[in-house]
Amino acid sequence: MPTETAGQHNPPLTVYYDGACPKCIRDRDSYQKLAGATDEQVCWFDITGQENRLRELGIDPQQALAELHVRDADGRIVSELDAYILLMNKVTTLQPLAWLIGLPVIRPLLAKIYHWQVNRRLRRRGLL
């Protein structure tokens, strides 16, 4: 599994995920299984204890817990559903789902459900 390091060529996507969250780990594992060799194009960066590094990247550590963040090959950081869409578009079998998530009618509803689930998870862990 690639990791982010200074001075090394980074893969096209770096995913900042909560490695202290069992569901986040399961989601990462599921993605890796579906992605197969495509997963080599993704760097998984565990944000646990990485508050300073996140700030250096312009990512608020609390926001990183509340929303998935992904950095693309150009260094652009996207979050929430945009991050999921970017990540899913790397895997052929997930591309239709990425398209569906991006639909203007579906996107706002999914965003509300996503935030409700994340906030519930963070409250359970005492982080919100």
6 versus 71: which is more confidently predicted? 71
Q: What single string gives the DSSP state of each residue in 11-65?
A: PSEEEEE-TT-HHHHHHHHHHHHHHGGGGGGEEEEE-TT-HHHHHHTT--HHHHH
- Residue 40: pLDDT band by 50, 70, 90 thresholds? confident
Taking residue 44's Cβ as centre, other Cβ atoms within 10 Å add up to 20
Report whether 95 contacts 35 (CB < 8 A).
no
pLDDT-based confidence at 5, cuts 50/70/90?
very low
Look at residue 37 in the predicted model and tell me its pLDDT.
Answer: 79
Please report how the helices 107-124 and 80-88 are oriented relative to each other, as an axis angle in degrees rounded to 10.
110
Sketch the domain layout of the chain as residue ranges. Answer: 13-124
Rounded to an integer, the average pLDDT of 111-123 is 91
- Structure-block tokens of residue 7: 């001075």
Higher-pLDDT residue of 77 and 128 is 77
Each residue of 55-100: pLDDT tens digit? 999 999 999 999 999 999 899 999 999 999 999 999 999 999 999 9
The encoded tokens of residue 111 equal: 């965003």
Tokens 């989601």 -> residue:
27
